[in-house]
Amino acid sequence: MRPIDQQTPTYMPTANRPINAGTSMNDNTSRLDGVAKVTGAARYGRDMHLPNAIYIALVRCPYGAADLESSDAAAAKAVPGVLEVEVTGKEGKYHGQPIGHVAAESPLAMKRALRALNCTWKRKPVKTRISDVAPDMPAPEDKTKEILESAELKLEAVYSTPVQPHSSLETHGGVVDHKGDRATVYASTQGTSSVKDGLGDSLGLPQSAFEVVCEYVGGGFGSKLGGPGKEISTAARIAAKYKRPAYLFCNRSEEHLDTGNRPSLRALVRLGFMKDGTILGGEIHKWGGVGVGGGGGGASLPSGRYRLGDVKKSDSNVSTNGGGPRPARAPGNPQGVFVEELMLDEVAAMAGIDPLDLRRKLVTDDIYKEMFDLGARLIGWQDRRANGTQRTGLRTGFGVGSTNWGYRGPQGSAEVVINRDGSVEVRTGTQDIGTGQRTIMGIVAAEALGVPLRVVNVRIGHSTLPPGPGSGGSQTAYSTSPIMNSATRDARQQFLTLLAKGDGADAAEFDIKDGQVLRKGQPYLTWQEACAKLPNDGVTGKNEAHPDGGAGGSQGVQFVKVAVDVEAGVVHPLHVVAIQSCGRVVCRKTAESQIIGGVIQGLSYALFERQILDRNVGTMVNDNFEFYKVLGPMDMPHIEPVLWARGQTGVRSLGEPPIIPTAGATAGAIFNAIGRPVRDLPMTPDRLLAAMEGGAS
Amino acid sequence: MAHDPGPAPDGAVPGQNGPARGVTRRSFVQTIGISAAATSLGSAAADALARQRSQESGGPEGVTILGPDPVEVTLNINGKPMMATIEPATTLMEALRLHLNLTGCKDVCDRGACGACSVLVDGRLTAACMLLALDAVGSQVTTVEGLAKGDPPKLDPVQECFVRHDALQCGYCTPGLIMACRALLNENPKPTLEQIKHGLSGNICRCGTYTNIFNAALEASGQAPIMDQKGA
């Protein structure tokens, strides 16, 4: 396809987002890969249909627990176009567990081979829920009994959240183009460098002989972190065997079953508190449903943002017949915070205190009080009625939650090249999974150099580039911004030194501003003229190892307003105000998008999403997008993202924090509307109706 | 699994693998076999093609046989005829992605539930994964690659507004949502916000960009963005 006008449409009115105008380094720039994405020119790993490619599918167990009785590899192999069929596993411990693979000349032949393989299974008993494995609740400990006896009021309740598959739209997998003595791996990954690290053996090549490429990723949300995974490793082995391109991507069902998830949670809370809202303490027991994963079921509860007194907590991982978890956007947080925020709302209701006033009293950092005040004004908290006091068919509710995120300092490396033709190339081996990382790098480099963004070409997503961070822990922006700034300043200094040397002058006389080279503050050369004076190979700047990350923080609060139809039990989200600090904002548009996206995923988690395993055979019954419901356009509230920027100098996390408080705030809003807490996610109509009829759900 | 590939060219009967699933029109067509399918195809061009092949292969009179071997078809894509040699069981999505190198049509659910493979077929918004490529013979197909027109190509206003309003993050749902927006505005040049939500309700965006998608659709139809429509 011919290149479309290189200029991306930029201007977006900020008048309708007055709070965010002027808070960022760049208010108007659109993401640099926007045009490629809207024209279909952006090629994702899954789009790499190479000539002469082999198509591979994994053979998977269709039940939660079963022994393979028989399979007809000969029949599968006899299907025209089938290259190889291999069944090595004899047993499945969760629906979707791979036991072998088929490889064929086309996707159709591959699918026919899977059917002709005709696996038959002997099913075994399954455990699909936390309560199947750990049915009993522990008795209160002696210390908790003491606290509860000295308290004026007490809360004892059980909360639960479901398993949530990440559901990235581009599924897991990769394409391996093996050329015998070298290879290119097109991976859908959140860690370009880490894929390379785990692939040499499968490819039969030294790491110096292959490259991992990841220009675009169709979503990851944590599930594409780490090494190549079984999909890319299998493709690599077969590509190496046949010396041909090999293509292996999960289909939608497989993506639901075997590419990780947010684990489920059951929490037992026993709290003692006083009528003024002071919480004395108690105990919180947590069980994380981790399928066959063995671990990773922890929840951030308590979060540390509220003073909960003397709370003892316990954590256990519960093994069931389901796929194992992987990091899921803010692992452990949305589920823990759902429990914590709803628990606080129940405390407030029993004590007869406004839930916002209770939080003002309990927060451990004063920044939240300021955020609460702003959010309350924007959502219209003054219109909130006391819990359960409405008698209309459609009842309004308000809820609130909070979030924060840690900071680990910059890491990774970068290069900035200024070429003789005036083009600037910034290089780091990270990737853009939709966060705007590519654009953020460009803006940082353009500002540090003093040139317009259009001369900057951002190179990311190749394992041959200087190693960059994985897209996990909300670290890419805060890691690479100071690194890129440092490398750019190095290139700039070299550039000015060379320029001054040519003129027999002092580099301090020169400056670059708005794409113009100045000498003693006066226009001296255009950018192009100055670059033409560079040596053949231009200049290359490198970053210092530990640049200053500046000051800033990632805190936030969210307010949710809902209407509940009490006849049908249906929740209509009306309005969400999401106030979020993330240090210094680099690009307003992509930052707002991160916040909006976090809220939408949080609402989807609160109201709709749930892995349903058949409790008899362990088969996931909603491994698709018809019956695994995610929030769609018709369910959308009005979302107001507010970038809280106040004197921060360093870039901080934004990817994960905005998904954390949404479900908890929504639970509070529903409690407020119907007068009863719904203690299980997702808060579906049946659960609301049950809660209204018989107390807690 | 999700996609029923139908019988193999050699007529081998596929076995069962896992629990049975619902029957879609496509899987029904693919499962009952090509000869029966061809007679039920709506497209005159496909029928003509089938008749021609039937005569060549000496099939019984009055029965049209298409396949099982790959057939050569000409699809009209973005105003241009494009030839491909495909098995009759190939969907339009597979033909576009695998055979015609038009990968803006995204493969996400392969069963019409997410809208990512949306294209226009004779102006109608269509899930390309739910249509056999043979059914598209004789129709005008527009993909996201065909929206930018002119020389040099200029972005469609919907595309331009998507970029400007950051109505995309990972971008994998984006081509489908752009086609859905285009189809909506073709039918209703000034939709209300409610009509926009309804018009796009067949599409899923996992990153969560709907707010900005609504903004883009509003601006592309000459209306004020959503922030001025409080409580929307």
Region of poorest pLDDT, from A470-474, B68-72, B161-165, B224-228: B224-228
Q: What is the pLDDT of residues A234-286, one digit of tens each?
A: 999 999 999 999 999 999 999 999 999 999 999 999 999 999 999 999 999 99
Is pLDDT larger for residue A196 or for residue A22? A196
A573: chain B residues, CB-CB within 8 Å: none
pLDDT score for B226: 75
Q: Among residues 429-458 of chain A, which lie with CB inside 8 Å of chain B?
A: 433-436
Is the Cβ of A42 closer than 8 Å to some Cβ of chain B? yes
User: Six-digit token pair at A281?
Assistant: 């303490």
Q: Which residue of B has its CA nearest to A217?
A: B170
Q: Give the number of other Cβ atoms within 10 Å of residue A233's Cβ.
A: 20
Distance (Å, rounded) from C-alpha A645 to C-alpha A550? 14
**A425 CB burial (10 A radius; 0-12, 13-18, 19+):** middle
Distance (Å, rounded) from C-alpha B224 to C-alpha B226? 7
Binning pLDDT at 50, 70 and 90, where does residue B11 land?
very low
- ipTM of the prediction: 0.95
The answer to whether B108 contacts A435, with C-beta atoms less than 8 Å apart, is: no
* Peptide bond just before B68 cis, omega within 30 deg: yes
pTM: 0.93
A229: left (phi > 0), else alpha (psi -120 to 50), else beta?
left
Is the Cβ of B135 closer than 8 Å to some Cβ of chain A? no
pLDDT score for B39: 40
pLDDT score for B225: 84
State chain A's mean pLDDT as an integer.
95
The answer to whether B207 contacts A11, with C-beta atoms less than 8 Å apart, is: no
Q: Is the pLDDT of residue B21 over 50?
A: no
The answer to whether A39 contacts B209, with C-beta atoms less than 8 Å apart, is: no
pLDDT score for A20: 79
Distance (Å, rounded) from C-alpha A469 to C-alpha A554? 19
Q: Is the pLDDT of residue A624 over 90?
A: yes
DSSP A92-151: ESSTT-EEEEEEESSHHHHHHHHHHT--EEEE-----SHHHH--PPPPPPHHHHHHHHH-
Single-letter amino acid code for the residue at B21: R
Q: What is the pLDDT of residues A488-527, one digit of tens each?
A: 999 999 999 999 999 899 999 999 999 999 999 999 999 9
DSSP A445-489: HHHHHTS-GGGEEEE-SBTTSSB---S-TT-HHHHHHHHHHHHHH
Contact by Cβ (8 Å): B111, B130: yes
Is the Cβ of A314 closer than 8 Å to some Cβ of chain B? no
Binning pLDDT at 50, 70 and 90, where does residue B31 land?
very low
Q: Is the pLDDT of residue B27 over 60?
A: no
User: What mean pLDDT comes out for the span A615-624?
Assistant: 97
Q: Which residue of B has its CA nearest to A37?
A: B171
Q: Is the pLDDT of residue A545 over 60?
A: yes
Single-letter amino acid code for the residue at A306: Y
Q: CA of A136, closest CA in chain B: separation in Å?
A: 33
Q: CA of A543, closest CA in chain B: separation in Å?
A: 28
The answer to whether A252 contacts B111, with C-beta atoms less than 8 Å apart, is: yes
B1: chain A residues, CB-CB within 8 Å: 111, 114, 251, 253-254
Distance (Å, rounded) from C-alpha A35 to C-alpha B163? 7
Binning pLDDT at 50, 70 and 90, where does residue B206 land?
very high
Contact by Cβ (8 Å): A306, A359: yes
Question: Coil, strand or helix: which one is A85?
Answer: strand
Distance (Å, rounded) from C-alpha A420 to C-alpha A425? 12
Q: Among residues 19-58 of chain B, which lie with CB inside 8 Å of chain A?
A: 19
pLDDT score for A27: 86
Distance (Å, rounded) from C-alpha B226 to C-alpha B167? 13
Element (H, E) at A338: helix A333-351
The Cα-based distances of A179 to A183, A323, A462, B48 in angstroms read 6, 35, 18, 43
Is pLDDT larger for residue B229 or for residue A420? A420
B117: chain A residues, CB-CB within 8 Å: none
Distance (Å, rounded) from C-alpha A337 to C-alpha A681? 12
User: Six-digit token pair at A285?
Assistant: 């027991």
B19: chain A residues, CB-CB within 8 Å: 62, 619
B109: chain A residues, CB-CB within 8 Å: 252, 624-625
Q: What is the pLDDT of residues B147-174, one digit of tens each?
A: 999 888 899 999 999 999 999 999 999 9
Q: What is the dihedral of CA A268, A274, A276, A282, to 10 degrees?
A: -30
Cα A351 to chain center, whole Å?
Answer: 37
Question: Coil, strand or helix: which one is A507?
Answer: helix
- In DSSP terms, which residues pair with A186 in a beta bridge? A175, A213
B168: chain A residues, CB-CB within 8 Å: 31, 34, 37-38, 434
User: Six-digit token pair at B173?
Assistant: 């749902």
The answer to whether A170 contacts B208, with C-beta atoms less than 8 Å apart, is: no
The answer to whether A118 contacts B232, with C-beta atoms less than 8 Å apart, is: no
B155: chain A residues, CB-CB within 8 Å: 4-5, 9, 35, 38-39
Is pLDDT larger for residue A552 or for residue A238? A238
Q: Which residue of B has its CA nearest to A216?
A: B170
Contact by Cβ (8 Å): A674, A691: yes
The answer to whether B208 contacts A38, with C-beta atoms less than 8 Å apart, is: no
Is the Cβ of A281 closer than 8 Å to some Cβ of chain B? no
Pairing of strands B71-77, B140-142: parallel
Nearest to A1 among B145, B159, B228 (CB): B145
Question: Coil, strand or helix: which one is A559?
Answer: strand
The answer to whether A219 contacts B1, with C-beta atoms less than 8 Å apart, is: no
B18: chain A residues, CB-CB within 8 Å: 62
B94: chain A residues, CB-CB within 8 Å: 107
B82: chain A residues, CB-CB within 8 Å: none
Q: Among residues 49-108 of chain B, which lie with CB inside 8 Å of chain A?
A: 87, 89-90, 94, 97-98, 101-108
Is pLDDT larger for residue A59 or for residue A694? A59
